[in-house]
Amino acid sequence: MSTADDAPKAEMLDPPMLDPHQDPASLTAFAAYEQRLLAARRRFAESRFVTDVIGRKLDDARFEAFLMFFTALGVQMTRPVDSWIRRAGERCIAVGFTELGHALVKHAVHEAGHDALFEQDARSLVKRWNAKDSRHIDAAHLLTLPATAGVARYVQLHEETIAGPSPFAQIAIEYEIEQLSVTWGPHFIRTCAAVLGPDVSTCLTFVHDHVALDVGHTQFNRTQLGRFLTAHPASLAALAAAGAAALDAYGGYLSDCLELAAQRAYS
Ligand SMILES: [Fe+2]
Ligand SMILES: [Fe+2]
């Protein structure tokens, strides 16, 4: 077991830099949103993913088992993403939020096929494990696991948002989740390399790609969210509720992966 000498610090919770080109009204509306998200972001920062995985409280085998569940179940978390964004955009257009709706529809294609990265990573991690451990793991089994409570909650949140009265809240969900890659991704990658060795990076293509890709996506989400809030200030509560629910559901999925890694007694 390792101890964390680079444990997450409070400054990691700081909101990202705001776009200096955003107009002042947008910045004000945006600040109100950020304020409402503080509690949910802190819950995530205090979740077992951060304290136990990034904080290196797991032994190496359990850490590796966590990665296998994280990537295998991650396929279910990411496969519908482009469809969710496109359908939310189409509903926004249908109910009159045309600017955001068109932006979402256009952006959806940038998320297509990312589940293939997670699937490839799950298979690579299983292969890596099986090459050195007699407790054989079947990749096909991991990739066909039923949705956990956290995964189901995350899927349900999207479907309810798309079908409900606030399809525009998809932008808050995207903003919070893609921002996780930017905020926590680099720490997660460093911990993975420290625990399992730098060669594990070849099994973490999803995370590596998203740490880079989601900088731009987060900027896009922030700009769209700011514009929407400025034009529709009454949407603040719905946006903040969806953003917080997305963080809680994503934290639930990560906790489920930790629970599975413990139950399967791979350590
Ligand atoms: Fe993605
Ligand atoms: Fe993205």
CA distance readout (Å), 138 to 44, 124, 159, 201: 31, 12, 31, 21
CA of 136 to the centre of ligand 2 (A): 33
pLDDT tens-place string over residues 226-236: 999 999 999 99
CA of 196 to the centre of ligand 1 (A): 24
Between these two residues, 25 and 112, which has the higher pLDDT value? 112
Q: Are 14 and 217 in contact (CB under 8 A)?
A: no
The tokens for 176 are 């919070």
- The closest of 64, 82, 182 to 121, measured between CA atoms, is 64
Q: Are 225 and 172 in contact (CB under 8 A)?
A: yes
How far apart (Å, rounded) are the C-alpha atoms in residues 78 and 84? 10
Residue 89 contacts by C-beta under 8 Å, 6 or more apart in sequence? 100, 101, 102, 103, 104, 105, 106, 107, 108, 170
Q: Which ligand is nearest to the CA of 74?
A: 1
- Sequence spans of domains, the chain: 23-263
Q: Which ligand is nearest to the CA of 107?
A: 2
In the predicted model, what is the mean pLDDT of the chain?
91
- pLDDT of the residue at 80: 98
pLDDT > 90: percent of the chain: 85
CA of 234 to the centre of ligand 2 (A): 27
How far apart (Å, rounded) are the C-alpha atoms in residues 41 and 96? 31
- pLDDT bin (cut points 50, 70, 90) of residue 124 is very high
> Residues whose CB is under 5 A from ligand 2 (ion)?
178, 214, 217
- pLDDT of the residue at 135: 86
- The closest of 90, 239, 222, 110 to 170, measured between CA atoms, is 239
CA of 135 to the centre of ligand 1 (A): 32
CA of 3 to the centre of ligand 1 (A): 31
Q: Which ligand is nearest to the CA of 173?
A: 2
Assigned superfamily of 23-263: Heme oxygenase-like (1.20.910.10)
pLDDT > 70: percent of the chain: 89
- pLDDT of the residue at 11: 43
CA of 217 to the centre of ligand 2 (A): 5
pLDDT tens-place string over residues 62-109: 999 999 999 999 999 999 999 999 999 999 999 999 999 999 999 999
Using the predicted structure, report yes or no on whether residue 178 has a pLDDT greater than 70: yes
Q: Which ligand is nearest to the CA of 82?
A: 1
CA of 114 to the centre of ligand 2 (A): 9
- pLDDT of the residue at 21: 61
How far apart (Å, rounded) are the C-alpha atoms in residues 176 and 76? 18
Using the predicted structure, report yes or no on whether residue 16 has a pLDDT greater than 70: no
- pLDDT bin (cut points 50, 70, 90) of residue 133 is confident
CA distance readout (Å), 73 to 24, 27, 140, 196, 249: 41, 36, 12, 20, 13
pLDDT tens-place string over residues 200-226: 999 999 999 999 999 999 999 999 999
The tokens for 89 are 């955009």
CA of 178 to the centre of ligand 2 (A): 6
> Residues whose CB is under 5 A from ligand 1 (ion)?
111, 114
